[in-house]
């Protein structure tokens, strides 16, 4: 089974930290963000597919073609923007079922295992007391029915953590913009649209094991909570 890690972005909000280093190579507790993700992958995963872009050569040099016995394959971010565009650059590499995660955020080992064992399309989401921006996930009886994209929701709710269990049938459908009028294609929106057209249910998987890394202070805060991801 393959695990796709989207690691092409620079991470502009990280400031000077990413001026000479790609964001996925930043460290928390002595390990790069990518290594933390690699170490959550169970034995079901035999190949890691890394989508690289900004300073991708440094990632290739750091990890080469394998990590602890798992093969590493690289794909360059294509011309399409956004998380869906990044995933689409791997479509000739992927074989059947796969999981997807972001190259900077940190995930729980049990959630990765659950994604690997899933027999359906699955999107992971976390309940937050205040959804400040991004995709607010709407679900009914365990199935995702809508994703509301906004800069400011103003209320609590579920937010996608961009961890998925999918398969290559997804590539039979078109990418969907994150919101109207943008050239950024969102993976949550694309998966939901494909689910609606295909009739493949998109299951909701709720989690509390997620550390979002979007600003320098998140790296410091992660050192205090990263042990919780192993529970």
Token representation of residue 115 = 């994604």
pLDDT reported for residue 182: 81
Distance, in Å, from the CA atom of 82 to the CA atom of 119, rounded to the nearest integer, reads 26
Q: How does pLDDT run across 80-117, given as a tens digit for each residue? A: 789 999 999 999 999 999 999 999 999 999 999 999 99
Q: Which residue has the higher pLDDT, 56 or 182?
A: 56
Q: How many domains does the chain have?
A: 1
Token representation of residue 80 = 């399409």
pLDDT reported for residue 231: 62
Q: Which of 25, 21, 222, 186 is nearest to 104 (CA)?
A: 25
pLDDT reported for residue 132: 63
The answer to whether the CB of 85 falls within 8 A of the CB of 78 is yes
Band (pLDDT 50/70/90 cuts) for residue 177 is very high
Mean pLDDT value across residues 159-185:
92
123: CATH: 3.90.550.10
Residues ≥6 apart with Cβ < 8 Å to 162: 6, 83, 100, 101, 102, 105, 187, 188
Band (pLDDT 50/70/90 cuts) for residue 4 is very high
pLDDT reported for residue 229: 77
* Residue recorded with tokens 């872009």: 53
Neighbours of 81 (CB within 10 A): 17
Q: Is the pLDDT of residue 153 over 60?
A: no
Mean pLDDT of the chain: 91
Q: Is the pLDDT of residue 38 over 90?
A: yes
Q: Which residue has the higher pLDDT, 205 or 130?
A: 205
> Residue 184 is part of which domain span?
2-230
Q: Is the pLDDT of residue 131 over 80?
A: no
Residues ≥6 apart with Cβ < 8 Å to 141: none
Band (pLDDT 50/70/90 cuts) for residue 145 is very high
Mean pLDDT value across residues 21-41:
94
């Amino acid at each position: 089974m393959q695990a796709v890690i989207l690691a092409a972005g620079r991470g502009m909000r990280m400031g000077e930290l990413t001026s000479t280093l790609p964001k996925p190579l930043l460290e928390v507790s002595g390990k790069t963000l990518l290594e933390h993700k690699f170490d959550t992958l169970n034995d079901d995963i035999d190949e890691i597919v890394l989508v690289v872009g900004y300073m991708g050569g440094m990632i290739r040099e750091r990890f080469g073609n394998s990590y602890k016995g798992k093969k590493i394959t690289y794909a360059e971010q294509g011309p399409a923007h956004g998380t869906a565009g990044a995933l689409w650059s791997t479509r000739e590499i992927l074989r059947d079922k796969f999981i997807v995660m972001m190259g900077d955020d940190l995930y729980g080992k049990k959630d990765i295992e659950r994604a690997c064992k899933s027999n359906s399309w699955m999107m992971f989401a976390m309940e937050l007391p205040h959804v400040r921006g991004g995709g607010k996930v709407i679900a009914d009886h365990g199935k995702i029915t809508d994703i509301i994209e906004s800069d400011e929701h103003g209320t609590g709710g579920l937010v996608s953590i961009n961890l998925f269990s999918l398969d290559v049938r997804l590539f039979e459908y078109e990418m969907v913009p994150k919101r109207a009028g943008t050239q950024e294609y969102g993976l949550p929106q694309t998966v939901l649209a494909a689910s609606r057209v295909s009739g493949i249910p998109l299951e909701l998987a709720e989690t509390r094991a997620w550390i979002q890394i979007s600003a320098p202070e998140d790296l410091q805060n992660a050192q205090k909570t990263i042990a919780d991801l192993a529970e």
